[in-house]
Amino acid sequence: DTAVSQTPKYLVTQMGNDKSIKCEQNLGHDTMYWYKQDSKKFLKIMFSYNNKELIINETVPNRFSPKSPDKAHLNLHINSLELGDSAVYFCASSQGTQYKNIQYFGAGTRLSVL
Amino acid sequence: QKEVEQDPGPLSVPEGAIVSLNCTYSNSAFQYFMWYRQYSRKGPELLMYTYSSGNKEDGRFTAQVDKSSKYISLFIRDSQPSDSATYLCAMPQGDSSYKLIFGSGTRLLVRP
């Protein structure tokens, strides 16, 4: 039973399209995150929600919009996709900053923009 | 200067070797230190976490923190081909911070 699950695993799309990635966690955590990992494996935080409230909003183009309908779900919508958006996007969750913010990651969504 | 620096590798060692993976950091306020392991096409998974200075051992893995030098290490004894992965160090930005700062990862290859 997967703890943090993301869909889809792979996403291939054309420039200019709009796409969404979904994330769900069944760990009972109250905090969820979106990360972007580039081709050099650098993992960069994009957004974080705690109990459906946005708590981290890094310098990300406003074409990216997260939505958290409840604390077990965090979705990422991307408008007008660009070539530079190609990357692997990871969802993660943690129980606040307890246990020093140990985060559990999903398997990633590999986005290719053509 | 990046807050966390890590040699990207790749590091190639024969099976059974002792592996040393390292990170340096610039913020002396960092208190907690984590090592994540990421297999190819998978998400990072927590391997170890330590608090402040000193060593922590878990099986073949030892995490070491030297706060005076702002330097952390992960040692792997008797390395196995299954240890081949990318290893990322990470630390919370503040004591109660939701934000983890990650190193860029070191790719390790253990040759049979």
Q: How confident is the model at residue B2, as a pLDDT?
A: 78
Burial of B38 (0-12, 13-18, 19+ CB in 10 A): buried
| pLDDT score of A91 more than 80 | yes
pLDDT at A101: 80
Asked if A107 is an interface residue toward chain B (Cβ–Cβ < 8 A), one would say: yes
Q: What is the pLDDT of residues A33-72, one digit of tens each?
A: 999 998 878 899 999 999 888 988 888 899 999 999 999 9
Per DSSP, the three-state class of B60 is: coil
pLDDT tier at B95, thresholds 50, 70, 90: low
Q: Phi-psi category of A105—alpha, beta or left, where left has phi over 0 and alpha has psi -120 to 50?
A: beta
Can you say how many angstroms the Cα of residue A67 is from the centroid of all Cα atoms in its chain? 10
B42-61 pLDDT, tens per residue?
999 999 988 877 899 999 99
Q: What is the largest CA-CA distance in chain B?
A: 42
- Please list every residue in chain B whose beta carbon sits closer than 8 Å to the beta carbon of residue A34: none
Note whether A87 and A28 are within 8 A (CB).
no
pLDDT of A8 strictly over 70: yes
Per residue in B26-36, pLDDT tens? Answer: 988 888 899 99
**Close Cβ partners of A62 (under 8 Å, ≥ 6 residues apart):** none
Chain A residue with CA closest to B98: the answer is A97
Record the tokens describing residue A34, joined without a space: 């979106």
Predicted pLDDT of residue B51: 83
Phi, psi of A100 (to 5 degrees): 55, 40
Rounded to the nearest angstrom, the minimum Cα separation between B51 and chain A is 9
State yes or no: pLDDT of A1 exceeds 90.
no
